[in-house]
Amino acid sequence: MHFPILSYIVFLPLAGGILILLTPKKNIGLIKATATAVTGLGLMLSILLLLKFNCANPSMQFEEISGWIPSINVSYHMGIDGLSVGLIFLTTLLSFVACIGSYGIETRQKEYFFLYLLLSTGMLGTFCALDLVLFYVLWEIVLVPMYFLIGIWGGARKEYAAIKFFIYTLAGSVFMLLGILALYFTSTPHTFNMLELGKTAGALTLGLQILIFIAFYLGFAVKVPVFPFHTWLPDAHVEAPTPISVLLAGVLLKMGGYGFFRISFSLLKDAAHYFALPFAILGVINIVYGALVAMAQTDFKKMVAYSSVSHMGFVMLGLASMTATGFNGALLEMFNHGMITGGMFFLVGVLYDRAHTRDLDKFGGLGVKMPVYAGMLTVFALASLGLPGLSGFISEFMSLMGTYPVFKLITIISIFGLIVTAGYFLYMLQRILLGPLNARWADILDINKRELFTLVPLMIIIILVGVYPLSALKYQLAAVTALIQKVGGLSF
């Protein structure tokens, strides 16, 4: 295929961003239109990608390769397989709906949309890059726009949250850089090509693999985030403006999980086996601890933020299982969590825009005043707590099912986390929607059409995947099977 579709998907937002830089600051309509057009076009391209994607083929597709810095063996190498295609669709979809969700931004729109599109390029590029240096560059590009997006348009403690996010993630990723360099110099022949490394890096000694694994782990674990590196997340998610919270939860966390799949487990299989038990333990800590802390929150947004910590635990757990079912569950959980929690953050934003508070105890009885909102909130909350028939259930069930034969006790403890999750989501619904109406909100307005437009696509996908999981699973089955064979896991 000659049309470099991946490059278009990745760099279209950047091109749009540069166009926006050239647009006069006053012409806000044009700026918004450009951003929407560019992200919409990206979404269409990624749908085209899904249609053209050969689900039965476990290897790389749509590969593009050309020289970049030949003197140090760095190439511009992109390609996708079943591990990344779903995440690219997720990213383009969330970029598009969050762009529409960004119409409410009222200050410094030109800078906002430029940074927003730069962020999109970084996120999409991370999922496409097959050269470690390219991967690192695109991974780091995400940091800078995110710093500004939180720091300029965020809430009360935005400056603290922004620099904390920046320093935490940078600290993690510089160790990843050392890991990349170590992989390069220990491989023969020296290469940054992930596919080549996939063939040779598995032969490294266990000690070396463990060291490199830890270096990468620090980079990815901060992004996921894995306990105890999660403390940036509640600050960043709570302070960020709504569309950015959506992308933080929906996409940025997935970059860490994707890194585990694409690099840690694909390249360093002996170390992956070695660290399976610690991964499972960290996973269960994330699930239970995240759920318990979420239970204790009175801030709606903070509750959703901690629910992310809890849900990402299922990704860790599924990875630790080293089974095909567990891997499939973990990968699907990333996709589903992006849709569900992305939607949850939109819903938090809808309420906050009207009430200017997120204190759960200040609401009550809104179900009567905002029936449509109540319906949407219920669907997303139920999906998040894992109600069968909605997508969250499928992936969490698969994670647990894959893990049970390997780590029985840990799986049982994780199920306790599910109960807590059900508890805090239902408690949240009760506090916001049920009970007597708080008189303060007597004339609150229901969700408007634009907000509904951002949520409906996500809801359709959540229900579709929940009722017919193969619609999403078919893209990843072949790649996961191949990965399991490569790392030597159980193919059940």
- For position 473 contacting another protein by CB under 8 A, the verdict is no
Q: Pick the stretch among 28-36, 133-141, 196-204, 349-357 that binds another protein (CB under 8 A).
A: 133-141
- For position 166 contacting another protein by CB under 8 A, the verdict is yes
With residue 66 as reference, give the H or E element that holds it: strand 61-69
Closest CB 68 distance from another protein, rounded Å: 8
Q: Pick the stretch among 58-66, 180-188, 343-351, 434-442 that binds another protein (CB under 8 A).
A: 180-188
Confirm if 416 and 295 have CB atoms less than 8 A apart: no
Give 127 or 424: the residue with its C-beta nearer to another protein.
127
Diameter of the chain measured on Cα atoms: 71
- The SS3 call for residue 103 is helix
Closest CB 377 distance from another protein, rounded Å: 33
Closest CB 154 distance from another protein, rounded Å: 9
- For position 214 contacting another protein by CB under 8 A, the verdict is no
Give 153 or 380: the residue with its C-beta nearer to another protein.
153
Give 146 or 276: the residue with its C-beta nearer to another protein.
146
Q: Pick the stretch among 89-97, 168-176, 221-229, 307-315 that binds another protein (CB under 8 A).
A: 168-176
User: Can you tell me the distance from the alpha carbon of 388 to that of 390, in angstroms, rounded to the nearest whole number?
Assistant: 5
Closest CB 158 distance from another protein, rounded Å: 7
Interface residue with another protein, options 11, 103, 175, 416 (CB under 8 A): 175
Interface residue with another protein, options 49, 94, 146, 162 (CB under 8 A): 162
- For position 467 contacting another protein by CB under 8 A, the verdict is no
- Can you spell out the DSSP letters for 287-337? HHHHHHHHHT--BHHHHHHHHHHHHHHHHHHHHHHTBHHHHHHHHHHHHHH
Q: What is the DSSP letter of 434?
A: S
- For position 133 contacting another protein by CB under 8 A, the verdict is yes
User: Can you tell me the distance from the alpha carbon of 324 to that of 280, in angstroms, rounded to the nearest whole number?
Assistant: 15
Give 101 or 154: the residue with its C-beta nearer to another protein.
154
Interface residue with another protein, options 171, 206, 372, 464 (CB under 8 A): 171
Burial 47-78 (b: 16+ CB within 10 A, else e): eebeeebeeeebebbbbeeeebeeeebbbbbb
Give 72 or 419: the residue with its C-beta nearer to another protein.
72
Confirm if 172 and 142 have CB atoms less than 8 A apart: no
By CB under 8 A, what part of segment 59-78 binds another protein? 68-72
Interface residue with another protein, options 112, 147, 306, 424 (CB under 8 A): 147
User: Can you tell me the distance from the alpha carbon of 317 to that of 246, in angstroms, rounded to the nearest whole number?
Assistant: 24
Give 114 or 425: the residue with its C-beta nearer to another protein.
114
Q: Name the phi and psi angles at 51, rounded to 5.
A: -70, -40
Give the pair of three-digit tokens for residue 157. Answer: 């403690």
User: Can you tell me the distance from the alpha carbon of 327 to that of 186, in angstroms, rounded to the nearest whole number?
Assistant: 28
User: Can you tell me the distance from the alpha carbon of 41 to that of 62, in angstroms, rounded to the nearest whole number?
Assistant: 18
Interface residue with another protein, options 63, 64, 140, 446 (CB under 8 A): 140
Closest CB 171 distance from another protein, rounded Å: 5
Interface residue with another protein, options 96, 116, 136, 306 (CB under 8 A): 136
- For position 216 contacting another protein by CB under 8 A, the verdict is no
Within 10 angstroms of residue 3's Cβ, the number of other Cβ atoms is 11
User: Can you tell me the distance from the alpha carbon of 453 to that of 93, in angstroms, rounded to the nearest whole number?
Assistant: 12
- For position 185 contacting another protein by CB under 8 A, the verdict is yes
Give 110 or 362: the residue with its C-beta nearer to another protein.
110
* H helix intervals, 322-469: 324-355, 366-369, 371-385, 391-403, 408-433, 449-467
Within 10 angstroms of residue 81's Cβ, the number of other Cβ atoms is 24
**Residues 6 or more apart whose Cβ sits within 8 Å of residue 198:** 266, 267, 486
- For position 177 contacting another protein by CB under 8 A, the verdict is yes
- For position 293 contacting another protein by CB under 8 A, the verdict is no
- For position 220 contacting another protein by CB under 8 A, the verdict is no
Interface residue with another protein, options 97, 141, 320, 339 (CB under 8 A): 141
The burial of 203, by beta-carbon neighbours within 10 Å (0-12 exposed, 13-18 middle, 19 or more buried), is given as exposed
Interface residue with another protein, options 174, 210, 415, 437 (CB under 8 A): 174
Give 135 or 300: the residue with its C-beta nearer to another protein.
135
Interface residue with another protein, options 96, 113, 127, 148 (CB under 8 A): 148
Closest CB 218 distance from another protein, rounded Å: 10
The burial of 300, by beta-carbon neighbours within 10 Å (0-12 exposed, 13-18 middle, 19 or more buried), is given as buried
Q: Pick the stretch among 164-172, 234-242, 332-340, 388-396 that binds another protein (CB under 8 A).
A: 164-172
E-assigned strands of 38-125? 61-69, 74-80
Q: What is the DSSP letter of 388?
A: T
62: nearest Cα among 35, 82, 81: 81
Give 271 or 483: the residue with its C-beta nearer to another protein.
271
425: nearest Cα among 307, 308, 248, 286: 307
Give the count of residues interacting with another protein (CB under 8 A): 33
Which residues of the chain form contacts with another protein (CB under 8 A)?
68-72, 111, 133, 136-137, 140-141, 143-144, 147-148, 151-152, 158-159, 162-163, 166-167, 170-171, 174-175, 177-178, 181-182, 184-185
